[in-house]
C-alpha cells in the first residue's frame, strides 16, 4: 500500500496583488494575513497573542540575499517579528541542503507532526534532519512559545474535563427545568459557560498538531 504525503499545513487561497519594485511586496500584507489565518508561519502564534498585527512582518522564505524573489507571492510568509528576526538571512548551504538540513516549508508540506512534533514537555522535538535545522534555526523552543503551548494543553485538558462533566449533568437538565433542581441548572449553565470560554481561548492558542510519524 502506498502512503500519500501529508497535505501542506497552509494552503494559499488569495489572489496576490501586483507587486513591483523594492518594497512592492508590502502590498501583499492583508492577503498574507488572511492566507496564514493571522498566525505566524513558523511558530503558529496568533496575532492577538503576540501583540497584534504590528508585531508581525512579511518574511521572505528564501531570503533576498540568498536568491529569493522579493515580489513573488509564493516566497512571502506572514511571520511574527521574533521568528522573522531570528530567521534573518538564514538559509542552508548547498552541503547542508544535500544532507536534508533545510527549513520545512509549511506551504509545501506538513511541518508540525511530520518534521517535528511536540513532546510531553510542550517542546518541539525534531523527527527529521529538516526538523532539526528548522526548530534549531528558528529557536522554536524559546520560553514564551513553550509556555504558550503548556497553557494551551491546560485549556485542552480542562475542556475535556468540562465536556465529560456536562455529559453527566445534561441528562438531569429536564429535572432542573421544572424547578426541582435549580442549583443543578446553575451548575450546568456554569459548565457550559466554562466550555465556551475555553473554546474561545483555544481558537487563538497555538494549535496542537499530533505526530503523523508512523502512520
Output the smallest distance, CB 150 to Zn ion, in A: 17
C-alpha dist (Å) from residue 148 to 2, 35, 49: 37, 23, 9
DSSP code of 49?
Answer: G
| Residue 117 found at the interface with Zn ion (CB under 5 A) | no
| Residue 43 found at the interface with Zn ion (CB under 5 A) | yes
| Residue 205 found at the interface with Zn ion (CB under 5 A) | no
Compute the distance between CA of residue 124 and CA of residue 119 in angstroms, rounded to an integer. 6
Output the smallest distance, CB 127 to Zn ion, in A: 20
Q: Which three cell numbers stand for residue 87?
A: 530567521
Q: Between 78 and 97, how does the x/- string for binding to Zn ion read (CB under 5 A)?
A: --x--x--------------
Output the smallest distance, CB 42 to Zn ion, in A: 5
| Residue 40 found at the interface with Zn ion (CB under 5 A) | yes
Compute the distance between CA of residue 39 and CA of residue 45 in angstroms, rounded to an integer. 5
User: Contacts with Zn ion: how many residues (CB under 5 A)?
Assistant: 5
- Pick the closest to residue 75 from 30, 122, 107 (CA basis): 107
Part of the chain binding Zn ion (CB under 5 A), chosen from 41-49, 103-111, 127-135, 205-213: 41-49
Output the smallest distance, CB 19 to Zn ion, in A: 23
Nearer of residues 123 and 194 to Zn ion, judged by Cβ = 123
C-alpha dist (Å) from residue 138 to 44, 86, 104, 124, 141: 12, 6, 11, 11, 9
| Residue 28 found at the interface with Zn ion (CB under 5 A) | no
Nearer of residues 37 and 175 to Zn ion, judged by Cβ = 37
User: Which phi and psi (to 5°) does residue 128 adopt?
Assistant: -140, 170
Q: State the residues that interact with Zn ion by CB under 5 A.
A: 40, 42-43, 80, 83
Amino acid at each position: 500500500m502506498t502512503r500519500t504525503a501529508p497535505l501542506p499545513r497552509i494552503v494559499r487561497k488569495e489572489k496576490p496583488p501586483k507587486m513591483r519594485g523594492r518594497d512592492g511586496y508590502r502590498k501583499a500584507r492583508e492577503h498574507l494575513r488572511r492566507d496564514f489565518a493571522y498566525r505566524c508561519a513558523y511558530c503558529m502564534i496568533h496575532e492577538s497573542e503576540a501583540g497584534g498585527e504590528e508585531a508581525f512582518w512579511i518574511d521572505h522564505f528564501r531570503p533576498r540575499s540568498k536568491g529569493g524573489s522579493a515580489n513573488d507571492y509564493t516566497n512571502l510568509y506572514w511571520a511574527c517579528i521574533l521568528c522573522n528576526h531570528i530567521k534573518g538571512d538564514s538559509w542552508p548551504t548547498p552541503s547542508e541542503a544535500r544532507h536534508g538540513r533545510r527549513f520545512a516549508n509549511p506551504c509545501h508540506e506538513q511541518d508540525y507532526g511530520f518534521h517535528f512534533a511536540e513532546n510531553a514537555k510542550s517542546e518541539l522535538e525534531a523527527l527529521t534532519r529538516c526538523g532539526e535545522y528548522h526548530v534549531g534555526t528558528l529557536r522554536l523552543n524559546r520560553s514564551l512559545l513553550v509556555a504558550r503551548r503548556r497553557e494551551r494543553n491546560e485549556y485542552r485538558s480542562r475542556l475535556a474535563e468540562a465536556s465529560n462533566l456536562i455529559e453527566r449533568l445534561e441528562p438531569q437538565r429536564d429535572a432542573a427545568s421544572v424547578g426541582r433542581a435549580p442549583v443543578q441548572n446553575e451548575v450546568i449553565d456554569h459548565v457550559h459557560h466554562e466550555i465556551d470560554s475555553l473554546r474561545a481561548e483555544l481558537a487563538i492558542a497555538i494549535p496542537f498538531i499530533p505526530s503523523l510519524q508512523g502512520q
